[in-house]
A and B are shown apart, each in its own frame.
Chain A
Amino acid sequence: MDAVILQILNGLDKGSAYALIALGLTLIFGTLGVVNFAHGALFMIGAFCAVTLNRLLSLSHQVVDETQKDFLGNPLKVDVPYVNDIFGEATGSAIIDWSVPLAILFSIPVMILIGVIMERGLIKHFYRRPHADQILVTFGLAIVLQEIIKQIYGANPIPTPAPDAFTGSFDFGVLLGFDPNAVIYPYWRLIYFAFAAVIIGAVFAFLQFTTFGMVVRAGMADRETVGLLGINIDRKFTIMFGLAAAVAGLAGVMYAPINSPNYHMGMDFLVLSFVVVVVGGMGSLPGAVAAGFLLGVLESFASMNEVKAILPGIDQIIIYLVAIIILLTRPRGLMGRKGVMED
């Protein structure tokens, strides 16, 4: 029993990442009708926002410290970050320690900007082109973005730690009456799940309860009619693209402490996210989220030793297997709408 709960928990954080990326993909697909293969790259750029902010905050200058001596007896030079000069030493190091949560604030404008530039500069010209062309051009864009990041940050993963306060693990089992240390779970993953839930909730609330969201939903249902009513739907959709980019970016920022960011992390997630979107049903937001968590949890169940003993190798293929079965039995995915991508 405790093993099962542990696997569910393990699946949740990966599932949250899938759900967040798939949510953005579906938003873009539902609003603009564009299949965006560069979405994984946006996730990756988000993670590198965290890296960048960490580096910016750690920018330092050398100061001669008279109290410390090196082995020759000369005064030691120490690196002092600029933030320490501005905010004092205690606050300064706390800021550096908290660079990942701070990167959330930093990444939102950056990601929205990147998203809007991408939409206005490139995607806009591909609305009327076939889906194959959209896939190909965004695939090319993903390669370019990935290579640029590789040029700047190198090919090795860059460790980006979470704040010290969250480094431990949470003994979840005790709450449910199991032995101590039976079900332990790192704090940061718990936070990741909560964060993902908040973001997903916020996106849904935004679409459901604001006028802007209402217009966007109307535009998703019937773009032309909304345009005929005198609403500039294109601008709204551009903003939605920026928003989707920000969601992917935030997913990436928060994922940085879980897995050290490297330049191909986006591609690794992209393939799975597409499977998630298709399983959930193209164009269905709840479907994307549900499928994200479902596949994340299934994946971690399949990697249990008990399961692997019965079906060797199942952990490697479970997601694809589920996707194939669902696509063949429910052609529109779990919650797909009629009339979306039927051709």
Chain B
Amino acid sequence: MLGLGKKDITLFAVVAVLALFAPFILNPFPAGSSLAQFNAGYPDLMQRFVIFGIFAIGFNILFGLTGYLSFGHAAFLGAGSYSAVWMFKLLSMNVIPAILLSMIVAGLFAVVIGYVSLRRSGIYFSILTLAFAQMSYNLAYSVLTPITNGETGLQVTLDDPRVLGQTATADGGIPVTNLFGLEMRHFTTLELGPWQFQFSVGYYLCAIIMLISFYLAIRIFRSPFGMMLRAVKSNQQRMFYTGLNARPYTLAAFVISGMYAGLAGGLMASMDPLAGAERMQWTASGEVVLMTILGGAGTLIGPVLGAGFIKYFENIFSKINDQILHGWVAWLPDGLEDLVVALIHPFVGKGWHLTLGLMFMLIVIFLPGGLVEGGQRIARSLRRRKSTDDGKSASTEPAE
């Protein structure tokens, strides 16, 4: 079906179900209960899940398949955001042209940067991409201020032309981003007993685009083109000797992943029409590397898992404060309670980055294949235990 193998269909179906039912799955606790703060099913956060999922899927096409570690992918995300906001300013508040333009601009950027950077490999490639991204970031802050609006960030204003749309709404406000009239921020709330579920237009648009990009990623992974990219990773030299030029393949992978990043940037701007230079900073590039590694580089589902995982914990961990901690361990004796809170305190709230760094190190050290590898290991050990049980009973039976 759709050119996918049986396994891939299951995988795609799982991701599709997760994405489409996310408002339910991420809201397991009734609103108003003490655990409601762990609910992640509100539109803003869910949008971030899928948008960063797209970003990571794209990054994985480059890093996971070819092994080229780019430290400058945030530049494409930023370029995408800026072009989308410009589209909102000049053309109309419809998201479709904005997203298309952001992909095109990011793709052009990627052609230029990739053409230069891919002349080198290994750490030189990482440094070159990093240099380009930092250059764009610095330029966006200084000289390019007329285009990027510098530190303030680019925003839609009331006196933008918006040739195809309206400059201001009837009541004088700034029009909101929409899809042929369907407002992105519009959402309906479904109340089932104490539970509240929010379904937002913006989220579902992002989710559907994420599913399309995921589908394309599967097709790329399984195609002869994907095979070539894997060959680049495993032995580029041998590829040369076979008479194949690796450069066009890697450049194509670079441009595709750049366009994915641009798409993510465009979606980000569509959900909230502003763009700032900090989206291009190298820490932002580091974040997507982290997501991909954490989930499992080179696997299909890994980047999506990683993106969701990091964004979820970023949101939850940074919300926990001392008060909540005291609430949890209130059953302990007083002295011990304070001790436990003091011990956990550095890792939550503002200290979330510490947890992230530790988690990242542990993953790289013990689980280089990321969460996916962890899952596979568990599954394998379960299966082995089962089969040895079978084997034992099979071998012991005749003796009896």
Contacts and interface: CB of A to CB of B under 8 A. Distances in A.
- Size class of the B contact interface (CB-based, 8 Å): 35 or more
A323 B357 contact: no
6 closest cross-chain pairs (CB), A and B = A313-B143, A143-B357, A316-B138, A147-B354, A140-B361, A140-B360
B240 interface: no
A324 B131 contact: yes
A327 B124 contact: yes
A129 B132 CA distance: 27
Interface string B106-127: 0000000000100111111011
A328 B116 contact: yes
Interface of chain B: mostly helix, strand, loop or mixed: helix
A320 B135 contact: yes
Contact of B139 (A125, A267, A317): A317
B356 interface: yes
B142 interface: yes
B27 to A, nearest CB: 31
Contacts, number: 106
Contacts of A122: 361, 365
A271 B143 contact: no
Contacts of A131: 122-123
B127 A147 contact: no
B134 interface: yes
Interface in A107-134: 122, 125, 129, 131-133
A92 to B, nearest CB: 34
Interface string B333-365: 000000000000010000101101110110011
A209 B67 CA distance: 41
B4 to A, nearest CB: 29
Interface string A276-318: 0010001000000000000000000000000000001100110
Contacts of A343: 121-122
Given A129-B368, A274-B127, A282-B123, 8 more contacts: A122-B361, A140-B358, A140-B364, A142-B357, A275-B131, A320-B131, A327-B124, A331-B124
A35 B131 CA distance: 17
Contact residues on A (Cβ < 8 Å of other chain), bracket:
35 or more
Contacts of B127: 274-275, 278, 323, 327
Interface in A145-174: 146-148, 151
Contact of A324 (B132, B293, B357): B132
8 contacts: A132-B67, A136-B364, A137-B365, A139-B286, A143-B356, A271-B134, A316-B143, A324-B132
A271 B293 CA distance: 21
Contacts of A324: 116, 128, 131-132
B255 to A, nearest CB: 19
A141 interface: yes
Contact of A327 (B128, B135, B283, B289): B128
Contacts of B351: 147, 151
A144 interface: yes
Given A320-B131, A328-B119, A132 B365 contact: no
B203 interface: no
Grouping DSSP codes into helix (H, G, I), strand (E, B) and loop, the A interface class, with mixed when no group exceeds half, is helix
A135 B119 contact: no
Most A C-beta atoms less than 10 A away, residue of B69, B122, B283: B122
B24 interface: no
B131 A125 contact: no
A56 interface: no
A328 to B, nearest CB: 6
Contacts of A137: 361, 364-365
B282 interface: yes
A242 to B, nearest CB: 21
Interface string B362-394: 001100100000000000000000000000000
Interface string A244-285: 000000000000000000000001000100110010001000
B141 interface: yes
B240 to A, nearest CB: 13
B19 interface: no
B357 A140 contact: yes
A184 to B, nearest CB: 27
A267 B144 CA distance: 25
B130 interface: yes
B353 A327 contact: no
